[in-house]
Structure 1
Amino acid sequence: METAHLVHPTITVGNYIVDGWRLKPRRTRILAAGGNNTTNVRLLINNNNVVVQQRLLPIKSASKVDVERLMNILHQDLLHVFDDDHIFDLMVYDKNIKFQDPITKFDNIIGYLFYIDMLKLVFTPNVHIHWIKQTGSYEITTRWAVEMTISFLPWKPSLVITGTSVIGINPTNGKFCSHVDYWDSIDNNDYFSLEGFMDIIKQLHTCNNSPELEAPKYQILKRTATYEVRRYSPFISVKTQSGKLARSTGFNDEAGLPDPNKNDVSCLRSIQGGFAAVLKFSGKHTEDIVRAKQKLLRSSLLLDGLKPKDGRVPDRYNDLLGTVSPMKVGK
């Protein structure tokens, strides 16, 4: 009897479709796609006819799923998800991958990639991946922050969303099969979340027309409905005799920052940077209001399990638009 070879055949076995193996006259155990069992088949060649005998067995996971390798691929994909020249390794994504966030839902890889392209087209997104780790036998979790600007609108609103993603791995093929996002700024993360939709609308109505100050550089680690947790780079704090307070990595007369050599400067202080919780509010910057906002900020942090240190540093860039009150937070 001669051995026959088929190149990527497709054979229907009962209600199962088995594909992609080398056909030999011996017992072969293969996975049957689309079912909850594997199929033990006997393939015999007799007068150029194929005889298939089947027996259903309990399903087993793929022998080894290299989660470490998948995490490395996922980290690069998420980090460069909006780069024009980034190419996804579609071999590690299930064609029926399910994606969901509070306002979006897709059930296949085509919708998944369409959503990414749409965000790149409408916004100017910038992604920060804070950490990624394995949280289950077939589960990876990552914490991220996304900042997006809608440049075609006259007021150029910015969207900031932070949260976690839980990515599931199909144990039968070792591919990503689900991706669910959870936003820090809302409580209801189920689809479709009216709370999530209103969070986006609220940010779209925020006008970013404050003076182009050389502001302190920071990275947003977490944004909730009440506050932001930021990591600041070192900067300089300047306070004038008129009460104007500015914070900068340098001085820029054109941006409206005071000249430290002029008599109007009453205090010049170097800040080492670090972590801070920030609560934004608009209106008058009186001591009573600042204390009330500080109390709200502290209670919100404690409620979320964070431990704030004593003290506060008020920031006031523009009296017309409002003030910002940050408070140091233990890491």
Structure 2
Amino acid sequence: MLTTRMQSVLKRPFELRSRCRGTLQQPPVNCLRTKARSFRHPHYFRVISHAARHDAIVGDLAANASSGVFMGSSSMEETQRRAFVMQDTCSFLASDLKLLFEKGEITESRYASNIAFEDPISKYDSRDGYVFNIRLLRTLFDIAFDLHSIAVTGPDCITARWTMHMRPGLLPWRPNLTITGRTVYRVDPRSGVILSHTDYWDALKRNTFLSLEGVVHVLRMVTQLQLTPAVETPKYTVLRKFKEYEIRRYEPYLVAEVPMTHGSGPASGSGFSELAGYLFGGNAVGLELQMTTPVLTRVEAAQRNESVAMQFVMERRYPDVSSLPAPSNPRIATRRQEGGFAAALTFPGWPLDFEVVRAERQLRDLLLRDGLLPAPAPAPGYLLARYNDPGTPPALRRNEVLIQLEGFKWPPEEGQE
């Protein structure tokens, strides 16, 4: 977007001679606001495609400035011109980053030949090295890249926040490597050429190359053995992954829920057989429903970690509670979970009561340390999520403790990283 000052300057009347007719025309007001942008020049009118618009815009801005359209070369006008170039570069990156790992290519004219790239475990100082790194990652991993936000954060700085999921194709257990963080781009504000790209991972305290902490973090993810069954599970996005836990944003989902026996511990299996009966035809229409994951146990921390209810997640093909078959068992209720933000801590094994309580306390302490839970507030309840069937060996089992985060803001404001 143009600044208010630049818009007022560009809107001042000047004559544009039509090549088709010998008449004088006023330039269109919105010619800089469409995806295929039109840019005005004292002698011609042209439409610039999305791929080529940057070089033409920057060149025309310089030409107009020298010919007097910007009414001189004061520092205010130069600042406005640079702000426009930075915003255009930010828009370019927003579209380019979403396809970067799909194409394995970059728009070379937008990157300096000696671009400096650095993350905790790799470093390059050329455009060829930059492209090589992208192609190497595409070769070794199946990559899903989520861009959460991108903005101009300084006179020559653009900051992006993202999540990257990588699955190595050569490892039979197919671990999921999840890295979240932010990228700081340094840009030449005169030309919009990207000069450097520096990644900072949320999980690390030391992000400079070569970070031993970063190497250990990657190896830990590669060697994780917990299995997640290939069945439906509630949809969520990992927003921030730290060394010990991660923050997720859940979409709403439906559950069937049954109260648990009074005094049940957090790892109790009370209620499982009743919910299984509902799935296997114990409903008003005798319909067998598909098994999903995880099995959820709702625990009230205020009641000394006593389990309140067990929940089965329902298939996503049911859009709302009214579309689910009514349970034959009057103790079973169906309801909608609204989703939202939650912190999750993962641990393996057969979860015994004391292990669940220990994991919950560890997660709560971490959230208090990081300022994500208010210390004076009463301890909220939590969910225990168990993903695997009884036949899965303990070392391969995936269990999680989840605590809902009230008042969590996303994306974080600048300076609140």
Query: Are the counterparts in 2 of residues 62 and 173 from structure 1 also a CA contact under 8 Å?
Result: no
Shift of residue 305, structure 1, vs aligned partner = 2.7
CA RMSD of aligned residues (A): 2.7
User: What's the counterpart of residue 33 of structure 2?
Assistant: none
| Conserved? CA contact 2:227–2:398, under 8 Å | no
Contact 1:156 1:208 in 2 (8 A): no
Cα distance in 2, alignment partners of residues 178 and 269 from structure 1: 50
Find out whether 1:328 has 2:347 as its counterpart. Answer: no
Local SS of the residue matching 1:125: strand
CA contact (8 A) 1:312 1:328 kept: yes
- State the partner residue of 2:383: 313
C-alpha deviation, 1:130, in angstroms: 0.8
Shift of 1:136: 1.0
> What's the CA shift for 1:163?
0.4
User: What displacement does 1:133 show?
Assistant: 1.2
Question: What residue is the counterpart of 2:120 in the other structure?
Answer: 102
Q: Do structure 1's residue 196 and structure 2's residue 261 form an aligned pair? A: no
Between 1:233-242 and 1:63-72, the stretch displaced more is 233-242
Q: Does 1:178 align with 2:193?
A: no
Contact preservation (8 Å) 1:98, 1:179? yes
| Alignment check: 8 A CA contact 2:106 2:131 kept | no
Q: Indicate if the aligned counterparts of 2:253 and 2:316 stay in contact, CA closer than 8 A.
A: no
Report the 3-state secondary structure (helix = DSSP H, G, I; strand = E; otherwise coil) of the residue aligned with 2:221: helix
Residue equivalent to 2:279: none
Name stretches of at least 5 consecutive residues in structure 1 with no aligned partner.
Answer: 1-60, 253-258
Alignment deviations for residues 54-101 of structure 1 (CA, whole Å, 9 cap, x no partner): xxxxxxx999331110001111121111113x7532222111110000
Task: Flag the 1:265–1:203 CA change in 2: closer, same or farther, 3 A.
Answer: farther
Q: 1:270 Cα deviation (Å)?
A: 2.5
What is the match of residue 90 of structure 1?
Answer: 108
Instruction: Report if the CA contact (8 A) 1:284-1:322 is conserved.
Output: no
What is the Cα deviation at residue 196 of structure 1? 0.6
Identity across aligned pairs (percent)?
Answer: 32
Q: Is the 8 A contact 1:62 1:174 kept in 2?
A: no
Is the contact between residue 151 and residue 159 of structure 2 (CA under 8 Å) also seen in structure 1? Answer: yes
Q: Distance in 2 between matches of 1:123 and 1:154?
A: 13
1:133 maps to what in 2? 151
Mapped partners of 1:230, 1:141: distance in 2:
21
Q: Which residue of 2 aligns with 1:27?
A: none
SS in 1 for 2:117: strand
Deviation at 1:170, TM superposition (A): 2.5
Q: Which residue of 1 aligns with 2:129?
A: 111
TM-score by length of 1: 0.72
Asked which structure has the greater RCO (Cα within 8 Å, sep 6+), the reply is 2
Q: Which amino acid aligns with 1:165?
A: T
SS at match of 1:313: strand
Indicate the structure with greater strand content.
1
**TM-score, normalisation: structure 2:** 0.58
| Aligned counterparts, 1:264-279, within 5 A | 266=332, 268-279=334-345
Query: Residue by residue, what CA displacement relative to the aligned partner does 1:107-166 show, whole Å, maximum 9, x if unpaired?
Result: 011100110011111111111111111111100111100001113321111110000111
User: What runs of 5+ residues in structure 2 fail to find an aligned partner?
Assistant: 1-77, 261-268, 273-294, 297-311, 318-324, 409-417
Q: Distance in 2 between matches of 1:265 and 1:149?
A: 42
In structure 2, the CA distance between the partners of 1:261 and 1:178, relative to structure 1 (3 Å rule), is: same
Judge conservation of contact 1:229–1:278 (CA < 8 Å) in 2. Answer: yes
Which protein is richer in helix relative to its size? Answer: 2
One-letter code aligned to 1:152: L
AA matched with 1:311: G
What is the alpha-carbon distance in structure 2 between the residues aligned to residue 267 and residue 90 of structure 1? 58
How many residue pairs get matched?
264
Q: Aligned pair in 2 of structure 1 residues 102, 109: CA closer, same or farther (>3 Å)? A: same
- Residue 98 of structure 2 corresponds to 79
Equivalent positions of 1:130-169 (< 5 A) are 130-169=148-187
Displacement after TM superposition at 1:238 (Å): 4.1
Give distance in 1, aligned partners of 2:169 and 2:331: 36
Q: Deviations 1:10-52 (Å, cap 9, x if unpaired)?
A: xxxxxxxxxxxxxxxxxxxxxxxxxxxxxxxxxxxxxxxxxxx
1:29 — aligned with what?
none
The 1:265/1:221 distance shift into structure 2, 3 A limit, reads farther
SS of equivalent to 2:106:
coil
8 A Cα contact 1:184 1:222, kept in partner: yes
Q: Quick one: distance in 1 between partners of 2:157 and 2:398? A: 43
Aligned-partner Cα distance in 2 for 1:106–1:197: 17
Which amino acid is 1:313 matched to?
L
Contact kept? 1:233, 1:272, Cα under 8 Å: yes
CA distance in 2, matches of 1:282, 1:298: 18
CA distance in 1, matches of 2:79, 2:107: 20
- The correspondence for 1:248, drawn from 306, 309, 313, is 313
Alignment of 1:40-59 (within 5 A): none
Contact 1:62 1:171 in 2 (8 A): no
> What is the deviation of 1:291?
2.6
Render the CA deviation track for 1:228-263: whole Å, top value 9, x for unaligned: 1111111233457744435534189xxxxxx98576
